[in-house]
Amino acid sequence: MVMKYVNWALRRQAEESDVPRCPSHKVEMKLRGIIGQPARFRWQTEEDYTYIYFCPVDKCNETRQIIRRKAQVPGGTDIPSRPVYARPNDR
């Protein structure tokens, strides 16, 4: 990610793209879906996601799976208590 900004600052053209190319047709593949879940526990900061790409050319069965690690802030399991003004039945 940092190299992306360094290349931009130095006005270099990056040859590699995040999107894979079809080996048969040399076109960029399209994203079909993402498999994975955000971090579920407080001690986890990264999680693996599988990106599935397919070739958009008709009757081409080329697919590619790319595993990427994403860092995120995991959601806590503690539910905060609702304020009194949000609970009209408790007044």
Residue 47 lies in a domain: yes
Distances in Å between the Cα of 6 and the Cα atoms of 2, 12, 13, 16 are 6, 8, 11, 14
> Residue 44: inside a domain, yes or no?
yes
Q: Under a CB-based contact definition with an 8 Å cutoff, are residues 13 and 48 in contact?
A: no
Q: What range defines the domain where residue 66 resides? A: 26-75
Whole-structure pTM value: 0.58
Structure tokens at 18: 């995040």
Residue 39 maps to a domain: yes
Q: Is 9 a domain residue?
A: no
Decide if 88 is inside a domain: no
User: pLDDT, tens digit, for every residue of 8-41?
Assistant: 788 777 556 688 999 999 999 999 999 987 666 6
Please state the domain count of the chain.
Answer: 1
pLDDT digits (tens, 9 = 90+) for 33-45: 999 876 666 666 6
Mean pLDDT of 55-59: 93
Is residue 12 domain-resident?
A: no
